[in-house]
Structure 1
Amino acid sequence: MLLRATFLALLFASPALAQTTESPPNPEPVDVETDASEEPATEAQDPFELDPLVAFEAFFAGNYQRAFDLAITFAGRDDAPSMRLLGQMYAAGLGVDQDQQEAAQWYRLAVEAGDTDAKFLLATMILDGAFIERDEEEAARLLREATEANHTEAKQMLAMLHLEGRGVERDLERGAELMREAADEGNVTAIYTLGILYAEGAGVRLDTREAYEWFDRAARRGNTEAQIELALGLLNGDAGDPDLGEQQRIENAIFWLRRAAEAGNPVAENRLAHAYSQGFGVPLDAVQAAYYHARAVAGGLADARLDAFVSSLPEEQRQEALDRIARDRAPDNPLD
């Protein structure tokens, strides 16, 4: 069964003024020995003479307090990207206490000042509706404006609105057109969703082979849903080279399931648990089956058949699986 794509980021502390004192004039010249190791004194630079990009440099360097101080200064000069940066910092709680309403206010100011990224960010908040009022028509308008400015993520999201008829008239062909644009520009969610559209013939011709080519592209870029779709397609013969033998198909499918499971996808974890419990494409391994089942359950995917399988195992095997889970969660685990 195909998995649907779902819907699915302060004032500048001015340098203290240097205190100056007058010195009495020397009646006679005096030779002064200079220490070559001393740096000549320099005046602190006025923040209003700086390029606003220094706020972003401080942000990406992890100096959030300085980034915030600088961004406030430049926002006061009507610099739109600085306003958007403040919104992102409030949204993530970086350098300031997290405050989604404040983030939305800064996004709105940035939008009014013409920032394209802010239009996309504000639209996502509006569509989410968790912190500000949901208004799908306003979100669609913002996404349309960002799309006209060639914003890739906005294209992908506006495409979904057209496909679902949210905030805009439902238009499968327009949705597919925008989705392809975003996919061609490298948006991984769009690449995966385009595979879904070809698999279902929604806004494009029905073409299973084309669908799996898009799933393959998305899988190679780390999209776990596409990795699962590709694994299932390999098992049923729809994906991959038609000349692949059955054993190679199974091995390739297990490879993609493992990739998705390593990224924490419960569906892939569940599939691997079944594979290990039956020795399908992998060595029969009850502990591995129990391990992946426990991970899938922790991710919200129950399975009565696997519950019964794990319950039938000796206590030591169940404990070994739990020990592996505990090691996964250890603070020094590089995968955590």
Structure 2
Amino acid sequence: MPRRHPVVQVVIIALTVLAGSPVIAGPLEDASAAARGGDYPAASRMFRALADQDNTYAQYNLGVMYAKGLGVTQDSAEAMKWLHLAAAKGLAIAQNDVGTMYRLGWGVARDDAEAVNWFRRAADQDFMVAQNNLGDMYAMGYGVQRDYSEALKWYRLAAEQDSPYAQNIIGIAYEHGFSVQQSDADALAWYRRAANKVYDSSHLTLMHGPQYNLAAMYAAGRGVSKNNVQAYMWFTLAAKLGDVKAPDLPGVAAFGSSKQTALEQRDTVAALMTSAEIAEGEKLAREWSPHPVVFIRPQAK
């Protein structure tokens, strides 16, 4: 993997309604329905009643509500309490969120080694987001000795589950020859896989998203015949999906991120195109539709 310090993929803890056990499926579904309908005070009361009965899924959802301040006063320590209870019983999504809490020091003292421990538990259950998070920890050497090969192992597992984040990073590795044999063809293939999905790049500060990276390959004719229309299309989509800032200087220096934004790159390409070619690029961008991504959420054992 790159000789760099990529940004940890901070998982935004979100209210995720999980299937309940058959015994209390009715009450849990009532609580879930209240949450989906935006009645968070009622949902929090119902989740608490079930959480007090040791229901794993209710404990997780109650923890999320405290983390987000939904229907209750935001309280990271209380969130950690409930998330930890669900995580200790093997719920992968809770294990990943506990790892995130330790990584960020929310409701608990920051502890990267403990974050790695919880990310690994979830990743071992094939939880895709945790596989990405564990890959990030190995890539940066946070909580573990830096090991790019180990990082790439976890990114590949996430990529097999169609994670555009992981697929983009693998593309970067092949483009620059980081811990793999440099290959423009392989880089292009991985960028294309990632770029054909909706991918919010706005949170990235050290790297561009896959739509940008794919556009750059077309613009330069690397791994594919040079094609300004395709480059224009993909730079347009990159900007639309949030890739509108230049990466931080460490990203520029460490693994070759371009200082130019997607819109700047698009304008550079446009200067080489006819009006008809620009119109075609804009048409392709308007007509583009993403491939669906199916997320697998392992249940508690």
**What band does the TM-score fall into relative to the shorter chain?**
0.7 to 0.9
Aligned to 2:196: 262
Match of 2:28 among 61, 79, 84: 84
Aligned to 1:250: 184
Work out which structure has the larger RCO, using CA pairs closer than 8 Å and 6 or more positions apart in sequence: 2
Aligned to 2:299: none
- 1:320 is the counterpart of 2:280: yes
The 1:305–1:133 alpha-carbon spacing in structure 2 relative to 1, beyond 3 Å, is same
SS state at 1:5 partner: coil
Match of 1:183 among 108, 114, 123: 123
Query: 8 Å contact 1:158–1:178 — kept in the other structure?
Result: yes
Give unpaired runs (5+ residues) of structure 2. 202-208, 245-260, 294-301
Counterpart residue type for residue 91 of structure 2: H
Query: 8 Å contact 1:230–1:239 — kept in the other structure?
Result: no
Match of 1:163 among 83, 89, 103: 103
Aligned to 2:268: 309
Counterpart residue type for residue 205 of structure 1: Q
The 1:296–1:117 alpha-carbon spacing in structure 2 relative to 1, beyond 3 Å, is same
The structure that has the greater radius of gyration is: 1
Counterpart residue type for residue 325 of structure 1: A
* TM-score computed with the length of structure 1 as normaliser: 0.70
> Over aligned residues, Cα RMSD in angstroms?
2.5
Stretch deviating more after TM superposition (149-158 or 309-318): 309-318
How far is 1:3 from its partner?
4.0
The 1:165–1:237 alpha-carbon spacing in structure 2 relative to 1, beyond 3 Å, is same
Aligned to 1:108: 48
Aligned residues: 257
Query: 8 Å contact 2:56–2:89 — kept in the other structure?
Result: yes
How far is 1:269 from its partner?
0.4
Match of 1:192 among 132, 154, 157: 132
**Per-residue displacement from partner, 1:270-322 (whole Å, max 9, x unpaired)?**
11111111111121111111111111111122224313224422221121122
How far is 1:130 from its partner?
5.5
* TM-score computed with the length of structure 2 as normaliser: 0.77
Aligned to 2:10: 6
Give unpaired runs (5+ residues) of structure 1. 10-55, 58-73
Query: 8 Å contact 2:211–2:237 — kept in the other structure?
Result: yes
SS state at 2:107 partner: coil
The 1:101–1:328 alpha-carbon spacing in structure 2 relative to 1, beyond 3 Å, is farther
Question: Identity of paired residues, percent?
Answer: 24
Aligned equivalents of 1:239 and 1:103: distance in 2?
A: 48
**Per-residue displacement from partner, 1:243-265 (whole Å, max 9, x unpaired)?**
x4x4xx21111111111111122
Query: 8 Å contact 1:212–1:238 — kept in the other structure?
Result: no
Aligned equivalents of 2:70 and 2:8: distance in 1?
A: 22
Aligned to 2:206: none
The 1:137–1:277 alpha-carbon spacing in structure 2 relative to 1, beyond 3 Å, is same
